[in-house]
Structure 1
Amino acid sequence: MNTIIQDSLQKSYTYTAYRHLMQTYAQEGKTTGEQTEAYVHYTHLNEARMHRLDKTITLTPEVSHFLDQLPNELLWVVLAETWCGDAAQVLPVLDKMASHTPKIEMHVVLRDEHPALMDLFLTNGTRSIPKLIIVDKVSGEVLGDFGPRPQGAKELIVAYKAAHGVVDDEAKAALQKWYLQDKGVSIQNEVVALLQPVKV
């Protein structure tokens, strides 16, 4: 596993580089992964969302304090694609957390370019993204993973699918509203919960 993770870093992006790629693709009518009209549309939509979130997401005082006390140096590897709506909501929060402390180094890798890595972190047998993989930089041990959604968002989609049988545009709109109201707090808290065993 560690070899696959390290190999993925050879073709990874800093968050800034990923955002630049996304901006360029949105302007040029492109997307990462399969070049479909829908994916191009979602990339353009997600660029606008991330532009807003990059400016508005703030860390809670509790999360900021926790990150200030983090003893271990961590590597965060995030599997994503520019067309993914959940990735557009989650990545700006992860970047805000990683940028808060020099103890965290974050890299973004594209799911479709790294199937071997993705297949180590499936969600219910599917290649769901985004997926954050937390690695201890010294030992190389995988400490945990997060994604593709925080618990409240997962429950919303499960309930909608149970009621309607599909995840349609109405469900996606409800999901985006949930993210808007949550302001990234659930993501912060759930990632901190994963990091709790790291603290000594």
Structure 2
Amino acid sequence: MKNSIAKSLFKSYPYSEYRKLVTDLLSEGKSTGNQQSESLTNYSKLNDARMNRLDKTTKIADDVVSKLENLDHKYIWLVISEGWCGDAAQILPILNKMALASNKKIDLRIVLRDENEELMNQYLTNGGKAIPKVIVICKEAGIVRSDWGPRPKGATELLANYKKEFGVIDEKIKTDLQLWYLADKGISVQEELMQIIENIKYNRL
């Protein structure tokens, strides 16, 4: 296992502890991350409320549950996140429900981007530190098999098309992106992560 992965895993949080960390910081008027500002704290508050809702309402598709329950190998899903990240707030509750459905075949662990710069720099998206990033690790072998993120393909295309047309990422597209997630109901995240697992299985043959 890469040293950066091992170091980050040592500092990682299970989902429940990550949620508590974000909530505790908010009670102090803070967000996660090296930078502190009123806007980042407000984003964190919004995300905390959103994750509370998604923890209650997110459903994993029956066919996905069946596949998760019958995985041939155990995995660690190491996720790079921050409490102020809107995409992470939409995606982490889905990953948690998938992990819970897997009969302990998936161990979901979360690390903060700004505290794990070495790891983040290995998983840049077009040269940027976009999050969340899911690193799929074979638990038995300690080998990174794949990575995913920072968002589903449909959401990525929506953002790219808007930026191409208007040249900016503004509040309108951020709102449109949240509406996309609401309509998608977590299906794209489930399908894309399961496709990664299928590809790993196929490549083992």
Paired residues for 1:153-172 under 5 Å:
153-172=155-174
Identity %: 47
1:106 corresponding residue in structure 2:
108
* CA distance in structure 2 between the partners assigned to 1:62 and 1:18 by the alignment: 28
2:72 aligns to what SS in structure 1?
coil
Is the partner of 1:199 in helix, strand or coil?
A: helix
Q: What residue in structure 1 maps to residue 81 of structure 2? A: 80
Mapping for residues 1-200 of structure 1, pairs under 5 Å:
2-33=2-33, 34-101=35-102, 102-199=104-201
Cα offset, 1:198, TM superposition: 3.6
Normalising by structure 2, we get a TM-score of 0.95
Offset at residue 169 of structure 1 (A) = 0.3
Task: Give the aligned length.
Answer: 200
Deviation at 1:27, TM superposition (A): 2.7
Shift of 1:26: 2.5
Say whether the 8 Å CA contact 1:133–1:146 is kept in structure 2.
yes
Aligned residue identity for 1:124 = N
Say if 1:93 and 1:184, in contact at 8 Å, map to a contact too. yes
The secondary structure found in structure 2 opposite 1:92 is helix
Please state whether the residue corresponding to 2:83 is helix, strand or coil: coil
Contact 1:87 1:129 in 2 (8 A): yes
- Note the C-alpha offset of 1:196: 0.3
Structure 2 residue runs without a partner (length 5+):
none
| Residues 27-63 of structure 1 deviation map (CA, whole Å, 9 limit, x = unaligned) | 3221011111111110001001000000000101111
Displacement of 1:122 after TM fit?
0.7
Q: Distance in 2 between matches of 1:199 and 1:65?
A: 16
Q: Distance in 2 between matches of 1:185 and 1:192?
A: 11
Deviation, 1:144, is: 0.7
Q: Distance in 2 between matches of 1:70 and 1:129?
A: 26
Provide the C-alpha distance between the structure 2 equivalents of 1:113 and 1:52, rounded to a whole number of angstroms. 27
Deviation at 1:12, TM superposition (A): 1.1
Gaps of 5+ in 1: none
Query: What is the rounded CA distance, in whole Å, between the counterparts of 1:29 and 1:180 in structure 2?
Result: 28
Measured against aligned partners, the alpha-carbon deviations of 1:178-197 in whole angstroms (never above 9, x if no partner) come to: 00000100000000000003
